[in-house]
């Protein structure tokens, strides 16, 4: 079953919950992920313009997994 793409706010909530479950303060997570504290604050708040590379660093530091499923290829023989 396809999973819809989460919103920035939903990603922020996932990160916040994972951080708290790991018993980390925001500054501790920032240090572990190699990003600034302000970035963590903004990311957890669901900032839609957060840099994807840094967001992936934070997710990795928390042990989160990101799966991207490409769309199916179109059937052959149809119009291009």
pLDDT tens, the chain, 80 aa long? 456 889 999 999 999 999 999 999 999 999 999 999 999 999 999 999 999 999 999 999 999 999 888 888 887 765 55
Over residues 46-55, the pLDDT tens digits come to 999 999 999 9
Q: Are 25 and 56 a contacting pair, CB within 8 Å?
A: no
Which pLDDT belongs to residue 5?
A: 87
Q: What's the pLDDT at 74?
A: 85
Count CB-CB contacts under 10 A for residue 23. 7
The ranges assigned to domains in the chain are: 8-61
Q: Give the CA angle between residues 57, 60, 63 to the nearest 5°.
A: 155
pLDDT at 80: 54
CATH class of 8-61: mainly alpha
């Amino acid at each position: 079953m396809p999973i819809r793409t989460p919103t920035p706010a939903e990603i922020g909530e996932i990160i916040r919950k994972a951080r708290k479950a790991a018993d980390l303060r925001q500054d501790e997570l920032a240090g572990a992920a190699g990003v600034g504290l302000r970035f963590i604050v903004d990311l957890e708040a669901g900032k839609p313009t957060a840099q994807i590379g840094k967001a992936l660093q934070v997710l990795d530091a928390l042990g989160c997994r990101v799966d991207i499923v490409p769309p199916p290829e179109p059937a052959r023989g149809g119009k291009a």
